[in-house]
Structure 1
């Protein structure tokens, strides 16, 4: 459940208590837009920012941990190295009269069965390589048109904050999307967010089903130009349940 300071901040931005709010993320990574579209939008970031500790950990692993592992393995090999070369074992010759597979004319062992199974058809919404088909309405992130409202919102998604999480707030006046400037945040405590997009009831509506499994709930933003955007990874079970119940009524 969001803390009081989060709700106080929401009230300050909206001018009233929100009917429901929830922290959420994009259901899937942003697909790469055409180069000219990306440039026209200011070449904004299309991936979340990484914390500096992640890069420090990667440097430590590659330049300290891996060399130590290699040195340790080399030391073990040198310790197990034999003092001299052993004589080769004498070749085993079959005794006279003994049965041998080479002289029987029969194969020694049965050939292994062919375990290759026929190629199964691709899953719905995927191609033969298992990749998502762009613009597929059942499995896509958005409608696929970068010139419409949802596409333009995606192009500026990480331009407002490197953190993937956004706070969606509902009021009688419409929908407000807010973001925190931090790279890392606690959704129940973050109170430094600011509004990045506001939509009136005529400009956007939300579609969702109540009672979705916790941790797997999603909802869809629909816009009048026919574009749509799917959001998921809802944070806070109580906030998520209340949000989904509110938008599904």
Structure 2
């Protein structure tokens, strides 16, 4: 749960006590924008910065996992070569039957039903509007993916901490990077969901999630639904 120094810092940069605050982030990675749009926005970072320990961990994991993966693939290949011709023919007949029925190999009705709806995207898709422009500069304010969302009586504010490392419960070095009056943006949550949308006056929207601990998230979600 966010501690006193987080609330003290929030009050200092806002000039008032926030009605609610919560650490959150993008629900997905930022999609790749068109090159001309990215260039016009200053060609800023589109991915989160990583601490050096992350790269050491990835290197160690690769040293262990890759040999295991290659050995597993080799065993699978050997098993396939040793399988009977009759089994392979049966598999071929099954694939042919699926293709005849108009279904892609390996696809099922359940797979098609799980295709993400537009509401699962990170934003509305128009890079020229408010949400798209905000995404283009998201990591320019901070390489850390987390943002502190602050609500006041007349503003919606996003604050960021400048470093790669961040303790959401104790951070006290964050600053406001963008803010909107209530007539410029509004928050909306689908019933039963932990993520929420920021809808802007120009029709664009941003999908935010990865909320902090329930002690912070639940009061925040109750506030925006009140």
TM-score for both structures, normalised by structure 2: 0.78
How far apart, CA to CA, are the structure 1 residues paired with 2:217 and 2:128?
A: 30
Aligned pairs for 1:106-145 (under 5 A) are 112=90, 114-116=93-95, 117=98, 118-119=103-104, 120=108, 123=112, 126=115, 137-145=118-126
List structure 1 segments (4+ residues) > 6 angstroms apart after TM superposition: 108-111
How far apart, CA to CA, are the structure 1 residues paired with 2:150 and 2:160?
A: 11
Which structure 1 residue ranges, 5 or more long, are not aligned? 70-107, 127-131
Q: Aligned pair 1:151/2:132, yes or no? A: yes
Deviation, structure 1 residue 115: 4.3
More helix by share: 2
Per-residue deviation, residues 147-180 of structure 1 (Å, max 9, x unmatched): 0000000000000000000000000021110000
Alpha-carbon spacing, 1:109–1:241, altered in 2? closer, same or farther (3 Å): closer
Alpha-carbon spacing, 1:139–1:123, altered in 2? closer, same or farther (3 Å): farther
How far apart, CA to CA, are the structure 1 residues paired with 2:114 and 2:126?
A: 18
Judge conservation of contact 1:125–1:138 (CA < 8 Å) in 2.
Answer: no
Q: 2:50 is matched with which residue?
A: 50
Judge conservation of contact 1:211–1:241 (CA < 8 Å) in 2.
Answer: no
Q: 1:243 is matched with which residue?
A: 220
How far apart, CA to CA, are the structure 1 residues paired with 2:12 and 2:191?
A: 28
Per-residue deviation, residues 111-138 of structure 1 (Å, max 9, x unmatched): 6464445433553584xxxxx6xxx632
Q: Aligned pair 1:181/2:181, yes or no? A: no
Judge conservation of contact 1:204–1:222 (CA < 8 Å) in 2.
Answer: yes
**Number of aligned residue pairs:** 197
Q: Aligned pair 1:170/2:151, yes or no? A: yes
Alpha-carbon spacing, 1:211–1:188, altered in 2? closer, same or farther (3 Å): farther
Alpha-carbon spacing, 1:147–1:229, altered in 2? closer, same or farther (3 Å): same
Q: Aligned pair 1:218/2:195, yes or no? A: yes
Deviation, structure 1 residue 191: 1.2
